[in-house]
Amino acid sequence: MERSEAIQCSVQDSIMHIRINRPEKRNAITMPMFISLTAALNDAEQRDDVLCIVVTGNGESFCAGHDLKAFEEWPQQPEDPVPCFLHAIANVRKPLVIAAHGSAAGIGVTWLLHADWVVTSAETTFKLPFVALGIAPEAASSMLLQRAIGLPRAKRLIFGGEAFTGEEAYQWGLVAELSPPEELQERAFERARDFASKDPIILRRIKDWLHPGDEYHQRIDQEVEEINAAVVRRRASKEH
């Protein structure tokens, strides 16, 4: 499967900027986009000239999540685009800054749990629609969300699928910083420049302690297995 031009990458001043550029679909991620995102994250990890990663979205929304049409390509095996992307997220050991503006859903929200600094605006809206879609959450979010915001809130957001705001996300500790919408991206790059000025070995060691990768990878695999099973059940019910 080919990579997607909807994922744009550039490196300047030791910062890799990964830009999701599918604004006409609110930056919903297709299979080629998952492949390109995985390649970008892996490239950033391997490059000596990259000390920090910034992820942004073009248009009115940060990311609407997994493109629903792409679910036709599930079940996904370990070497397929989505599991590879999810494990790439968990493997990032360089500082990761995400600027989440407008709205985000699904993977556009769960990805934030792996970031080291998330900037958003008070008006941004977030949603975890997994139960409504009849699937499990992903990106180890079934583990990380409760650690970030507490078990009762995690249940409310996952089971209820309720939308919540950037202001609430900040108050709960899901994001690190609030910014006026027009300053959001610049704030993210300010933070990235600060990370890039620090000792990369120290930052990596601290991230190893804060983000135990083996634990995350195991949960990612468990979640993918449940999504696969849900997709198979849904197709079987339609056939009957």
* DSSP string covering 208-238: HHHS-HHHHHHHHHHHHHHHHHHHHHHHHHH
Percentage of residues in the chain having pLDDT higher than 90: 91
Q: Give the burial class of 199: count Cβ atoms within 10 A of its Cβ; 0-12 exposed, 13-18 middle, 19 or more buried.
A: exposed
84 confidence band (pLDDT: 50, 70, 90): very high
For the cut 70, the answer to whether the pLDDT of residue 124 exceeds it is: yes
Assess whether pLDDT exceeds 80 at residue 156: yes
| Alpha carbon distance 8, 157 (integer Å) | 31
d(CA 23, CA 28) in angstroms, rounded, equals: 8
Dump pLDDT digits (tens) for 2-35: 677 999 999 999 999 999 999 999 999 999 999 9
- Work out the average pLDDT over 157-181: 97
pTM greater than 0.75: yes
The answer for residues whose C-beta is within 8 angstroms of residue 60's C-beta and 6 or more apart is: 23, 26, 102, 103
CA distance 17 to 27: 16
User: In the CATH scheme, what architecture does the domain 7-180+205-239 have?
Assistant: Alpha-Beta Complex (3.90)
Q: pLDDT (tens digit, 9 = 90+) per residue, 170-224? A: 999 999 999 999 999 999 999 999 999 999 999 999 999 998 878 999 999 999 9
The per-residue pLDDT for 214 is 86
CA distance 214 to 221: 11
pLDDT of residue 79 exceeding 80: yes
Strands 117-120 vs 103-105: parallel, antiparallel or unpaired: unpaired
More confident residue, 103 or 70: 103
